[in-house]
Amino acid sequence: MSAANAMFRAMVAEALRMQTEGRPDLVDKVIPTYPIGGKRALLDNGVWIAALKRPNVELVTDAITEITESGIITADGTARDFDVIIYGTGFHASRFLYPMKIKGRGGADLHDTWDGDARAYLGMTTPGFPNLFMIYGPNTNIVVNGSIIFFSECSVRYILGCLKLLAETGANAMEPKAEVHDAFNIQVDAGNRLMAWAPAGVELVQEREGPGQPELALRPGGLLARHPGARSAGFRAVEGARDGGVGRLGLYGSDAFSREVPCRSSSTP
């Protein structure tokens, strides 16, 4: 946690203590133990705390062990009856494109290739799977300081730029170079280790459990740094391509001849 984050967290915690005055039972339940930005911040003008302080409201943070015909039983053994239960069952946050079956070159299965470590260049393309473009793919989620709608729109414009390039050159497929893909994800992992959601106690989006596993959903850096159009694409031909290096695009057409052309995003930050 940085000094600035610690100072900001102390200010927010003090504000919550003031709002929960007279209800010491709420203090530990509403003040997180992780740094500001470790999870999505709740924007509240005091209405949320006021609702929790109402005499007919009880905030329970114990784990749920069982849902019965009449209500809920929590880990401490307490049974509570309810007329209505709104139950968030969760979802496969790290199993991108699940349960779709996607086959790449040589019949490779995308989920078998990822093997619990979903990765993509710019969060949109994966080596070995030509013409597969993803929106809201691995490491494209935004926790704070931005709109996922804006980010998705930028991704669409970037993909359209690649499709336009295919049409203009007469090529029929493209995929990212493995070395470009890997270098990009090394940068993502290094950045995520410096973020507020890296400390212990923050639930990261991982498919594999255990320490040292990479964060698969979140993208570090500012909004413009996340902008897929801020980078050059690194693609290669499936066969017969000359190595054009990072930042160049290899294409192959129906005649199986390869050529390299510069690839720039169709959108600018």
My answer on whether 253 and 134 are in the same domain is yes
Over residues 127-163, the pLDDT tens digits come to: 999 888 988 888 777 766 667 787 788 788 888 888 8
Structural domain includes residue 157: yes
Alpha helices, H only, the chain: 3-19, 24-30, 47-52, 110-114, 148-169, 178-192, 223-226
DSSP helix/strand/coil, 103? strand
Residue 216 lies in a domain: yes
pTM of the model: 0.58
Instruction: List strand residue ranges (DSSP E) for the chain, in order.
Output: 64-67, 71-74, 79-81, 171-173, 175-176, 235-236, 248-253, 258-262
**244 and 180 together in one domain:** yes
- The domain boundary residue, chosen from 81, 96, 115: 81
pLDDT tens-digit map of 168-226: 878 788 888 888 888 888 888 877 777 666 655 555 554 454 555 666 666 666 554 44
**Same domain for 135 and 44?**
no
Report CA Rg, the chain. 23
Q: Indicate whether 211 and 254 sit together in one domain.
A: yes
Is the domain of 76 the same as that of 117? Answer: no
* Residue 87 belongs to some domain of the structure: no
Q: Which residues form the domain of 17? A: 3-81
Which residue, 26, 47, 81, sits at the end of a domain? Answer: 81
Q: CA-CA distances (angstroms) from residue 202 to 37, 93, 175, 210, 235?
A: 10, 15, 34, 13, 35
249 neighbors 233 (Cβ within 8 angstroms): yes
Q: Are residues 230 and 152 in the same domain?
A: yes
Q: Residues 77, 115: one domain?
A: no
* 120 plus 216 within the same structural domain: yes
99 falls within a domain: no
Q: In Å, how far from its chain's centre is CA 110?
A: 18
Write out pLDDT tens, residues 221-266: 655 444 444 444 444 433 323 333 333 333 333 222 223 333 333 3
